[in-house]
Amino acid sequence: MLQQHLPDHERKPYNTQWRWWLGFLGVGIGSVADFAALSFAAQSIIMPIGAFTLVCNIFFAHYWLKEKLTRNDLIGTILICIGAVLVTVFGAHENTEYTLDILIHLYYRWDMLIYLLVLLVVLWVLIGMLKKAEAVLKKKGPTSNEYKTVLKIHPLSYAGLAGTFGAQSVMFAKSTGELIKQSVKGDNQFDKFLTYVIIAALVLTISLQTHCLSLGLKYFDALYIVPVFQCFFITFSVIGGAVYFEEFKDFSTTQWIVFPLGVLVTIAGVVVLSSRDMEHDAGAPTVPPPPSSTSTDCMGDISMQPRNDLQRRNSGSFTSSFRVLEPVRTWRRCHRP
């Protein structure tokens, strides 16, 4: 953003800029703080409050990158703040202790079995949507009428999978934090095999979240991917914490009403905040004007056409390669006075 006005050969790599390292440090500290917070507070409280990252992004973009604040930015910020306050005040605040034996025992309950079945159905539906969309895209092409009928479910499937896997990583992260907390107190939990199964599940779900989210952001607009991801992430984090850790077990009638309302208000704020228009598309290739044209009256039309030479080469993705679109400018004749 700060180097947009510079020619390509004068732009510094991002990893040589002190601002990038400052941001990287902030992400690292934030991740450690998130991990620690999950050990001392309810999962259903921590995750909705995580939407504050979008609020911080907006204000950093305004004061640091000089982007304009819009009315939607302010409305979304207010909604997230209200939702976070409601979630914090009316969430579960009991101080709990979990050993490995307790964590394993929590899986052997009917409500947890129902949650796992619902989770598997959601993942099955999302993966099915993704496979269907990519099969149509590969067979018919991105400009076909057949693909237009599945166009909306294609990015939805990527964002939904990322958010769902991410929510499960939160549950395993909290479990790992609880095991570390017990071990620090003198009750070693790392001399048991199942502890490392939980850690492996944490690494796996984080990897799947990162993979799906990266592909979604690579091929589709971040203004759609991010809010859908956040909605799935917050929703399943709250439900997972409520079911697995029994965080709603002692809720009063008021909490049953106000806490879900706070979560919905937070999600609404995420959607509003992520609906801002981008001033430019950072991923779109620049289209230079024709060398022979010197008049400012020359006009051009931009259309989206498939690139046959640019295919996904990641064999580890869910489905096979497909063509993507690139902007193509068609120049009309200049009108000279």
Q: Compute the distance between CA of residue 158 and CA of residue 206 in angstroms, rounded to an integer.
A: 14
Please report whether residue 92 resides in a domain: yes
Q: What is the CA radius of gyration of the chain?
A: 24
Please report whether residue 51 resides in a domain: yes
**H or E, element range at 234:** helix 222-244
Q: Compute the distance between CA of residue 142 and CA of residue 134 in angstroms, rounded to an integer.
A: 10
Please report whether residue 308 resides in a domain: no
Please report whether residue 248 resides in a domain: yes
Please report whether residue 58 resides in a domain: yes
Q: Compute the distance between CA of residue 238 and CA of residue 10 in angstroms, rounded to an integer.
A: 47
pLDDT at 147 over 80: yes
pLDDT at 13: 66
pLDDT at 12: 67
Q: Compute the distance between CA of residue 65 and CA of residue 80 in angstroms, rounded to an integer.
A: 22
Please report whether residue 139 resides in a domain: yes
Residue range 200-208: average pLDDT? 94
- What would the DSSP string read from start to end of 51-117? THHHHHHHHHHHHTS-PPP-HHHHHHHHHHHHHHHHHHHHS--------HHHHHHTTSSHHHHHHHH
Tens digit of each residue's pLDDT (9 = 90 or more) over 294-336: 444 444 444 444 444 334 433 344 443 333 444 444 444 444 4
With contact defined as beta carbons under 8 Å apart, do 92 and 250 qualify? yes
Q: Is the dihedral of CA 111, 117, 119, 121 positive or negative?
A: negative
Picking from 80-89, 100-109, 322-331, which range would have the lowest pLDDT averaged per residue? Answer: 322-331
pLDDT at 263: 92
Q: Compute the distance between CA of residue 87 and CA of residue 235 in angstroms, rounded to an integer.
A: 13
- Please give the mean pLDDT across all residues of the chain: 78
Residue range 67-92: average pLDDT? 86
Structural domain including 102 reads 8-273
Tens digit of each residue's pLDDT (9 = 90 or more) over 10-65: 666 656 777 767 866 876 787 778 778 888 888 888 888 777 777 777 777 777 76
- Of 215 and 14, more confident: 215
Please report whether residue 111 resides in a domain: yes
pLDDT more than 90, % of the chain: 39
Q: Compute the distance between CA of residue 302 and CA of residue 206 in angstroms, rounded to an integer.
A: 39
- Of 298 and 144, more confident: 144
Please report whether residue 324 resides in a domain: no
Q: How many CB atoms lie within 10 A of CB 51?
A: 24
With contact defined as beta carbons under 8 Å apart, do 243 and 111 qualify? yes
Residue range 102-125: average pLDDT? 96
pLDDT at 288: 41
pLDDT at 94 over 60: yes
Q: Compute the distance between CA of residue 211 and CA of residue 130 in angstroms, rounded to an integer.
A: 14
Q: Report yes or no on whether pTM surpasses 0.85.
A: no
pLDDT at 123 over 70: yes
User: Quick one: pLDDT band at residue 289, thresholds 50, 70, 90?
Assistant: very low
pLDDT more than 70, % of the chain: 74
Domain total for the chain?
A: 1
